[in-house]
A and B are shown apart, each in its own frame.
Chain A
Amino acid sequence: MFLLGTVICALSTLICWTMTAVRAHPADSAIISLAAIELYLIVYGIYAGIRQVMGAPITGESWEFWGYIITALMLPVGVFVWAMVDKTRWSNLVMSFVGLVVFVMVYRMEEIWWGTAL
């Protein structure tokens, strides 16, 4: 699950960077890559919810974990809205932040849950 998240975040960031170079407006592919991250986070959250309901042990604090998930879920939406305020080349670069930040957040969530992300 962590590996999948890493791949999605990395792809999204790369797409956004490429689109910053080649498009002078927010690119569809960059927006879709944000949607992919959001979808991944929803699946990740549902998976974690099932894990928790089934009584799987969590190394860290569960409320810290859920704090991270809720913040992460809001991030692609918030950044998307902000990127659309000014539809220029830079919107793509703004959207590239989501992949980077969500990767770090998923890394932290894995650490909180399993004690280690790897």
Chain B
Amino acid sequence: MGNRTLGAGAGAEKTPSKTPRNRGVGTLIITAYGIFAVSAFARAFYQIAPFPQEGKVQFVDAPLALTLSAFAAAVYVVATLALARTSPTAWSVALAAVLIEMAGVIGVGAWTLVQPELFEVATVWGGFGRDYGFIPLILPFVGLFWLLRHRP
């Protein structure tokens, strides 16, 4: 990562924003995304892997919730990697990921309220991220704000 960020840092000097996108407060946002990437991935893995366990909901029982769980994990992983990189392409990818995340947390959050019977298994985005202190709801807005402040 060192070489890439070094080159991008030199380029960022020409733009009005002094701090590169993945530095300063940016490191903080990337850390938050990274933690969610890891925990969402671990959760989806635990939910989907067919471990024989009493009381565990298997994939065939709740395909929708578990697919959404895996999808959320993928979005967080992509968002983390894209936010950490400084190329214009990464900026676009990050923007797309953050917008999908925003739509996901609001959409799935509303969906869990309307049809809770479809979601016996919790996903990261269920109930607007209630299980995670509503941080999944706040995070895309913070990410979007940061991306718009640091256009390539």
Contacts and interface: CB of A to CB of B under 8 A. Distances in A.
B138 interface: no
Interface residues of B, number: 18
Contacts of B31: 79, 82-83, 94, 97
Nearest to A89: B24
Interface size class, chain A: 10 to 19
Contacts of A101: 35
Contact of A88 (B1, B22, B24): B24
Contacts of A61: 51, 53
B23 interface: yes
Interface of A: 61, 63-64, 67, 71, 75, 78-79, 82-83, 85-86, 88, 90-91, 93-94, 97, 101
23 contacts: A61-B51, A61-B53, A63-B51, A64-B46, A67-B42, A71-B38, A71-B42, A78-B34, A82-B27, A82-B34, A85-B1, A85-B5, A86-B22, A86-B24, A88-B23, A88-B27, A90-B24, A90-B25, A93-B28, A94-B27, A94-B28, A97-B32, A101-B35
Given A86-B23, A90-B24, 16 more contacts: A63-B51, A78-B34, A82-B30, A82-B31, A85-B5, A85-B27, A88-B23, A88-B24, A88-B27, A90-B28, A91-B27, A93-B28, A94-B31, A97-B31, A97-B35, A101-B35
Q: Which 9 residue pairs of A and B lie closest in terms of their CB atoms, listed nearest first?
A: A86-B23, A94-B31, A86-B27, A90-B24, A94-B27, A90-B28, A90-B27, A94-B28, A93-B28
